[in-house]
Amino acid sequence: MKPITGKYILLLLILLATVNLWAQEFVVKSPLRFLALGDSYTIGQSVAEEDRWPNQLAAALQLQGVAIEEVKIIAQTGWRTDNLWSMIAGLDPDPSYNLVSLLIGVNNQYQGVDIELYPSEFRQLLEKAIDLCSGQKESVFVVSIPDYGYTPFGASTREQISLEIDQYNNINKQISEDLGVKYFNITDISRQALEKPEYIATDNLHPSGEMYAKWVELILKSVRIDRSTSIEREFSEEPAMIVFPNPASNELNFRLPQNADKLELLNSLGKLIRQFEISPEKAFQLDVSDWSSGIYFFRVMEQGNLLASGKIIVK
């Protein structure tokens, strides 16, 4: 038996450190076929198409090397659970998506529909979402209903709106847990809009692209990308790319491909913030102690061509 070398010990420590994180993650596969089901919050009422949160999520995943095959949105402003179900039944989508999201219920609340109807209708929709994801629950997720009581539109009845939104979210969260589906609470983010008016779109009701970006940042923290060659790459004789520790709070270390000549760093919206020329030894250390906590991305280049990309979490 060959002795365990230092680099394999390092790889083992990295893998062990991610075990507990993976227990809280859901799986994104490449190439990605993403189906987003919902209402105005999913179709992105009052924001540009690229600012819709499903499109922002796909763009962020692409920065991490995920090939994007399709992003399909079945959603419309004003839809209740029954409207969404009727549209899905009419369209009869091909059940071959490998990522499916569901966000629905605000119009049940706003239009005064009996809340007793919501549990069965939401469960029916979530079970259909699982079917449309080829039964792969680990690649289905639910997004909580944002609280429009914290917008100028809903300010006059904020207390009542918040109470009812919480009731709806208690239901959809419990059903998500019952069915073993990942649940993201973005409602707390929506309630920051009083202090952050930039989180509200120009219609004074719906989220802005900036708020949607925060939703995406929360979702990305739980993503595990399934690449068929990832294990082989990590245990190869000369690993192509290692970033550790990740998440980081002080220093971030990069071991880069031998032919890399540039490292680019991007913020959570994919905007380039810094770039570095890579030295011949291909080892690079970055001080992140004064960075704002959150998600960042990196790209490793060779003469303008992409060699590797990924996600960095600063805590």
Q: What is the pLDDT of residues 106-134, one digit of tens each?
A: 999 999 999 999 999 999 999 999 999 99
Q: CA 81, 177, 29, 60 torsion: positive or negative?
A: positive
What is the rounded CA–CA span in Å between residue 12 and residue 21? 15
Look up residue 212 and give its two tokens.
């949607």
Instruction: Write out pLDDT tens, residues 203-252.
Output: 999 999 999 999 999 999 899 888 753 333 333 334 456 777 778 888 88
* Predicted structure pTM score: 0.71
pLDDT at 311: 81
pLDDT at 298: 86
What is the rounded CA–CA span in Å between residue 57 and residue 64? 11
Calculate mean pLDDT across residues 264-271.
83
pLDDT at 228: 55
Amino acid identity of residue 160, one-letter, is Q
Is the bond into 31 cis (omega within 30 degrees of 0)?
yes
Indicate the pLDDT class of residue 149, thresholds 50, 70 and 90: very high
- The residue with greater pLDDT, 195 or 233, is 195
Burial 202-222 (b: 16+ CB within 10 A, else e): eeeebbbbebbbbbbbbbbbe
At the second CATH level, the architecture of 26-221 is 3-Layer(aba) Sandwich (3.40)
- The residue with greater pLDDT, 82 or 295, is 82
pLDDT at 253: 81
Q: Of the candidates 284, 60, 249, which has an alpha carbon nearest to the alpha carbon of residue 275?
A: 284
User: Is the predicted pLDDT of residue 197 greater than 70, yes or no?
Assistant: yes
pLDDT at 283: 72
To the nearest whole percent, how much of the chain has pLDDT over 90? 57
Look up residue 283 and give its two tokens.
């080892």
Beta pairing class for 140-143 and 99-102: parallel
Lowest mean pLDDT among 6-10, 97-101, 231-235, 285-289: 231-235
CATH no. for 240-314:
2.60.40.1220
- The residue with greater pLDDT, 269 or 61, is 61
pLDDT at 126: 98
Q: How high does pLDDT run on average in the chain?
A: 86
The domain limits of the chain are 26-221, 240-314
User: Is the predicted pLDDT of residue 17 greater than 80, yes or no?
Assistant: no
User: Is the predicted pLDDT of residue 142 greater than 80, yes or no?
Assistant: yes
To the nearest whole percent, how much of the chain has pLDDT over 70? 87
Indicate the pLDDT class of residue 280, thresholds 50, 70 and 90: low
User: DSSP per residue over 239-263, as a string?
Assistant: -S-EEESSSBSSEEEEE--TT--EE
User: Is the predicted pLDDT of residue 9 greater than 70, yes or no?
Assistant: no
Indicate the pLDDT class of residue 282, thresholds 50, 70 and 90: low
User: Is the predicted pLDDT of residue 33 greater than 50, yes or no?
Assistant: yes
Indicate the pLDDT class of residue 86, thresholds 50, 70 and 90: very high
